[in-house]
């Protein structure tokens, strides 16, 4: 029996975290989000609740990997073989979902396994899909990502960067599409995260508990109501959930049409230079995020305000820092560069 998720629209506060999750749901090309915060700040609740408002996708019917019929260059071997044989790839609509990766997952469980003996005996590749196959075109969620085995982290980074998972054994290899939005949550008190992984996240958010009494009371009231009767509680937010899902679907359709002026491109570059950000990933991610912020607001042109909002999500974890020093974003520099 499926447990009723806590409604996304019922979460009190944590607006920045919710915004970061919604932006990635609209535009997976942003590159995921890392949510850092103390225990009990709705990190896992928000990620799991996201599943209920994710826009639907078109996928090849019967495909294990939910291949996108609109992207022939990213078809799995089975879909590709059918297409080459002249068969029509029938599409159907699916809901995106959150796939959870256990912190103790082995490499085989993550990437899948290849039966070499079967390949030699039968002359056919026998592949048992792993979590990355499940995650294709979905959200891949890793709780306590800072505690994940280093080798598994490397596998995730490779798949996230390439959009493809390749399993090799004794010269036999199998590849399949693995495009997913990586969402990680962690409690900084339990250890830091590898710099190589940190920079791979498009956005980062730090969350803390509510400090206003009225807000904390509302958190308690809603949680008790949910635990007493999850279905009845969810029904109260059904209209808000539907409206949000429709807003996300509309934003996803609008996104390719959102324009950006050359002046805003220059401000993006100026901002990274002024803050001493390494590489170009921050610039590109800031622009993608600003465009998505505009689409979520229903506008077809990104503004300086959108870029500022994007900077607060994209830059904090990319600031240079000394050992044992927390990275901080100088908001005065952001305001000066953007002319605020």
pLDDT digits (tens, 9 = 90+) for 78-126: 888 888 887 788 888 888 888 988 888 888 888 887 766 655 556 566 6
The phi, psi pair for 184, rounded to 5°, reads -120, 145
pLDDT at 264 over 60: yes
Q: Which range in 182-196, 205-219, 243-257 is most confidently predicted, on average pLDDT? A: 243-257
Give the lowest-confidence range in 35-49, 114-128, 192-206.
114-128
pLDDT of residue 13: 82
Measured distance CA(74)–CA(216) in Å, rounded: 46
Q: What is the pLDDT of residue 236?
A: 92
Max mean pLDDT among 102-111, 134-143, 317-326 falls in: 134-143
**pLDDT at residue 323, as a whole number:** 46
* pTM for this entry: 0.84
The pLDDT of residue 313 is: 92
- CA 288 from centroid of its chain's CA atoms: 14
Q: Across the chain, what does the average pLDDT equal?
A: 83
Instruction: Provide the pLDDT for residue 200.
Output: 78
- The 3-state secondary structure of 22-60, one letter per residue: HHHHHCHHHCCEEEEECCCCCHHHHHHHHHHHCCEEEEE
CA 168 to chain centre: 27
Structure tokens at 179: 């495009």
Task: Just list the catalytic residues.
Answer: 281
**Sign (positive/negative) of CA torsion 305, 306, 309, 312?**
negative
């Amino acid at each position: 029996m499926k447990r009723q998720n806590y409604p996304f629209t019922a979460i009190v506060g944590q607006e920045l975290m919710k915004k970061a999750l919604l932006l990635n749901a609209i535009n997976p090309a942003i590159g995921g989000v890392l949510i850092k915060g103390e225990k009990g700040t709705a990190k896992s609740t928000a990620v799991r609740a996201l599943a209920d408002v994710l826009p639907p996708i078109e996928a090849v019917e019967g495909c294990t990997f939910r291949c996108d019929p609109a992207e022939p260059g990213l078809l799995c071997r089975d879909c590709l073989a059918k297409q080459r044989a002249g068969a029509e790839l029938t599409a159907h609509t699916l809901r995106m979902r959150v796939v959870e990766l256990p912190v103790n997952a082995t490499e085989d469980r993550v990437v899948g396994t290849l039966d070499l003996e079967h390949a030699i005996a039968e002359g056919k590749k026998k592949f048992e899909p792993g979590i990355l196959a499940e995650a294709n075109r979905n959200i891949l969620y890793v709780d306590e990502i800072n505690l994940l085995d280093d080798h598994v982290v490397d596998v995730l980074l490779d798949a996230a960067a390439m959009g493809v998972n390749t399993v090799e054994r004794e010269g036999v290899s199998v590849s399949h599409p693995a495009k997913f939005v990586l969402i990680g949550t962690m409690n900084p008190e339990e250890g830091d995260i590898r710099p190589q992984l940190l920079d791979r996240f498009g956005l980062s958010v730090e969350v803390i508990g509510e400090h206003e009494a009225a807000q904390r009371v509302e958190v308690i009231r809603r949680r008790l109501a949910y635990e007493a009767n999850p279905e009845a509680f969810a029904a109260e937010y059904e209209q808000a959930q539907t409206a949000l899902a429709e807003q996300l679907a509309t934003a996803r359709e609008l996104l390719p049409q959102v324009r950006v002026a050359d002046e805003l491109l220059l401000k993006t570059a100026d901002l990274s230079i002024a803050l001493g950000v390494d590489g170009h990933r921050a610039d590109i991610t800031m622009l993608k995020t600003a465009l998505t912020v505009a689409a979520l607001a229903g506008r077809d042109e990104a503004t300086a305000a959108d870029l500022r909002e994007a900077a607060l999500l994209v830059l904090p974890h990319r600031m240079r820092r000394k050992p044992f020093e927390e990275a901080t974003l100088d908001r005065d520099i952001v305001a000066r560069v953007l002319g605020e």
